[in-house]
Amino acid sequence: MTLADWTRGTLHDIRQNGVRRGSKDAAHELWLGALRRLGRLGYRSGYSTYEREWDVLVILDACRVDLLREVADEYSFIGDVETHPSPASMSRTWMNRTFTPEYSEQIRSTAYVTGNPYSADAIDAGDFETVDEVWRYAWDDEAGTILPRSITDRAIRTWRDHRPGRLVVHYMQPHYPFVTASLGHGIDLDSFDEEETPSVWKRLQSGDLDHEETWTAYRRNLEYVLDDVALLLDNIDADRVAISADHGNAFGEAGIYGHPHDVPLDCLRTVPWVETTATDTGEYEPELERSDADGDVTDRLEALGYK
């Protein structure tokens, strides 16, 4: 953002929202821009998960380290919650900086099962052994997101049928919307408008939502997906499974909420890293079949609060 762009935006905000609110928003944008400049200069640059050893990589979208540690005792497959320096603070950038030519050999043997709509323009499916963009055909319109079971079903089927060299399973939770709470449940994709229905992070920033209530909903969304991770681990065979995240999520640290791109805050760029194993008991048979249906990318991203 140039100074001229910022000035025009500030004047527009003041006209629309008054001097006090407009000036506050302008100051926030200026601060956010300064943080992004630090990020683009390489501060907390992080590195690709391909630098580590794993057969299956489970990505919990927008999961903070402290959040996973908070629930770790509830799940037998979670031991020590270590950390990993992520190369990004939002999903599209994470894909751009993870699936790079530097790791082309590893990527060619990787199957990618994803619920994140940024895969539509952030990756080249031809670079992978196989890509299953589950969000395109299994989106839940009532929840306004893709539910964990759809990802679990397709990940199990991909592992059993293809036996790829590596498997990346990208769940959308604990990312907003919070399926188990009323804070973000039931988004109508056809009429969603972020100006009329601010994301949970904008509502939290404005004081419209309580911090503790929002954190509890975020935690429950993590527990919701971890129940499915448990099912996944009981129905694939892998000696080296890593559970991590593409980025974290800010809850007001340095005045930032959500996960803006290129912001080098610890709560965004330091993500969890858990190592475990998986054994296929054969007790679960996936129900969801792959479809050629092509979901609308814009609607999907709007429902997740990106647009």
> Could you read off the pLDDT of 134-177 as tens digits, one per residue?
999 999 988 889 999 999 999 999 999 999 999 999 999 999 99
Which residue from 79, 199, 86 is spatially nearest to 145, judged by alpha carbons?
199
- The CATH number of the domain holding residue 273 is 3.40.720.10
Whether residues 20 and 131 fall in one domain:
no
CA distance 282 to 294: 31
**pLDDT tens digit sequence for 263-292:** 989 999 999 999 999 999 999 999 999 987
Query: Which residue carries 């140039």 as its tokens?
Result: 2
Residues contacting 18, CB < 8 A, separation 6+: none
Its pTM stands at 0.84
Whether residues 26 and 55 fall in one domain:
no
Phi, psi of 88 (to 5 degrees): -150, 165
Sign for the pseudo-dihedral over CA of 45, 271, 159, 285 = negative
Whether residues 227 and 142 fall in one domain:
yes
Q: Note down the domain range covering 12.
A: 1-41
Phi, psi of 55 (to 5 degrees): -100, -40
Which residue from 131, 125, 145 is spatially nearest to 186, judged by alpha carbons?
145
Residues contacting 3, CB < 8 A, separation 6+: none
Number of domains in the chain: 2
Whether residues 28 and 58 fall in one domain:
no
Whether residues 144 and 278 fall in one domain:
yes
Whether residues 171 and 268 fall in one domain:
yes
